[in-house]
Amino acid sequence: MDKYEVNMDTKSNKICKRETYFYVVKLVSIVGIIGICMCICLGCSTKKISIKKKCDIDFTVVEQSDIPAKLSEEIANKKENGFKLTYSDGNYMYIAIGYGARDTGGYNVQVKELFMTSNAIYINSSLVGPRENDMVLKATTYPYIVVKIEDNDMNVVFNT
């Protein structure tokens, strides 16, 4: 009988070890999955950046004939698809925004806001189309605007 009991204990012991092993594997798997989910959630979180306006910036809309030659050439190269450009001549920074090809005339670009923050210059612009009853030129046009401000070394952020 003693021999039989020893065999039962050995079988029981093996069963306990096997159950413990599967329990540990399940526990490690669950902890691993939770860890991966936490990493994904933290990695995908967004941080809201607040833009604190320091001051509005005075600007001048530049006539086509007064645009520096290098900038004018760059505008001509990119006008088909639209552009957001800056150019500095040492005294002034020129900010150019183009909205690409349009089928008719009557479009213009408006600067809604131009301001400075502690680390960048922000420009908000919009494309204004012709009104319903306006007579417009039936030709491809390329609406854009160039403004100039006093030169500085800050980056420009375009919001169009």
Smallest CA-to-CA distance from 122 within 50, 64, 67 is with 50
Return the closest-CA partner of residue 109 out of 93, 95, 119, 91: 95
What is the value of pTM for the model shown?
0.68
Q: Are 120 and 92 in contact (CB under 8 A)?
A: no
Per-residue confidence at 50, pLDDT binned at 50, 70, 90? low
pLDDT band, residue 26 (cuts 50/70/90): confident
Quote the pLDDT of residue 51. 79
Average pLDDT over residues 72-77: 96
Residue 37: C-alpha distances to residues 29, 31, 34, 46, 150 (Å): 12, 10, 5, 16, 49
CA distance 103 to 101: 7
On average, the pLDDT of the chain sits at 86
